[in-house]
Amino acid sequence: MARSMRDIKRQIKSVQNTRQITKAMEMVAASKLRKAQEKAEAARPYSQKLKEVVSNIAAGTTGIQHPMLVSRPVKRTGYIIITSDRGLAGGYNANILRKVTTLIQERHKSQDEYGLFVIGRKGRDFLRRRNYPIVEEVTELSDTPSFSDIKSIAYAAVGQFEEGVFDEIYICYNVFVNPISQIPTVERLLPMDGVGKKEETQGHELKAGYEYEPSPEGVLEVLLPKYAETLIYSAILDGKASELGAKMTAMGSATKNASKMIGNLTLTYNRARQAAITQEITEIVAGANAQS
């Protein structure tokens, strides 16, 4: 019984140490989430204004045949997949990877029909173990990534679409709703065949005159790739906020579970201790009665 009590006490101490770690990780994630959420929200006005300008130029110019605006027969598809570098984030990585792999299995019969641009070590390792064709990868992003951190993979994805290596590009990430809820989402990034249509520009009537130098086509040639890269960066910021929200929620749940386990173990320890005391008293009384 003494050994059993000692083991229970050791286990209580171990769970208490784990609870301290998960509580600290929850607080760190909450602090980082605030900064990540602010950065994601700060990037949206630029993205929205850039879309407005691109839509107005495309809608006001006839005969534009830019490859990023025109759909073509799909022979090969590219997927930009955003995951985290580390675990302990609940279902953050599993949800988006499950959604992407299911979509690929449904849409493609051969690996020649698609290629993957992977952001995050968890996604890279998962897909590499299953022999998925990874074209580009970026890992070890900070919790507040800058555009320069992902410029290479964004430039590669947009460039390979323009060159005809891929006929369409999808971006796969978790949309941040709140710290408890993140929605795995797959959106088509390229071609932008909706940009510039009348229904897209009805809510963005020109409030001021625009003059283009050297020409609307020349401006679109520069703006469209930057717009696509901006959408990728915005998705990464959204994904990072989702990751930190998932971590905060997961560590909060782990802390609560640890507290519950400590309570159950303490109750078991007290019962074992009470049984040991009762047995000692019984033995003393029995010995006293035997001598009388």
What digits encode the pLDDT tens for the residues 48-91?
A: 888 777 777 777 666 667 778 888 899 999 999 999 999 889 89
Cβ count within 10 A of residue 270: 12
Please give the share of the chain, as a percent, with pLDDT higher than 90.
51
Residue 263 lies in a domain: no
Residue 152 lies in a domain: yes
Residue 284 lies in a domain: no
**Which residue shows structure tokens 């130098």?**
213
Q: How many domains does the chain have?
A: 1
Nearest of 81, 222, 68 to residue 158 by alpha carbon: 68
- pLDDT at position 203, please? 47
**Which residue shows structure tokens 């990023």?**
68
- pLDDT at position 46, please? 83
Residue 260 lies in a domain: no
Angle formed by the axes of helices 92-107 and 216-291, nearest 10° = 130
What digits encode the pLDDT tens for the residues 111-140?
A: 999 999 999 999 999 999 999 999 999 999
Residue 61 lies in a domain: yes
DSSP assignment of 173-230 equals: EEEEEETTEEEEEEEEEE--TTTT-HHHHTT---SS----SS-HHHHHHHHHHHHHHH
Give dist(CA 221, CA 132) in Å, integer: 33
Residue 11 lies in a domain: no
Q: Length of the chain, please? A: 292
Residue 81 contacts residue 127 (beta carbons within 8 Å): yes
Residue 149 sits in a domain whose CATH number is 3.40.1380.10
Determine the average pLDDT of the residues in 240-264: 94
Give ∠ CA 227-233-237 in degrees, rounded to 5: 140
Confidence at 92, pLDDT banded by 50, 70, 90: very high
- Is residue 254 predicted with pLDDT exceeding 90? yes
- Residue 106 lies in domain: 28-197+207-249
Give dist(CA 166, CA 135) in Å, integer: 11
Give dist(CA 236, CA 171) in Å, integer: 10
Query: Helix or strand or coil: residue 261?
Result: helix
- Is residue 209 predicted with pLDDT exceeding 80? no
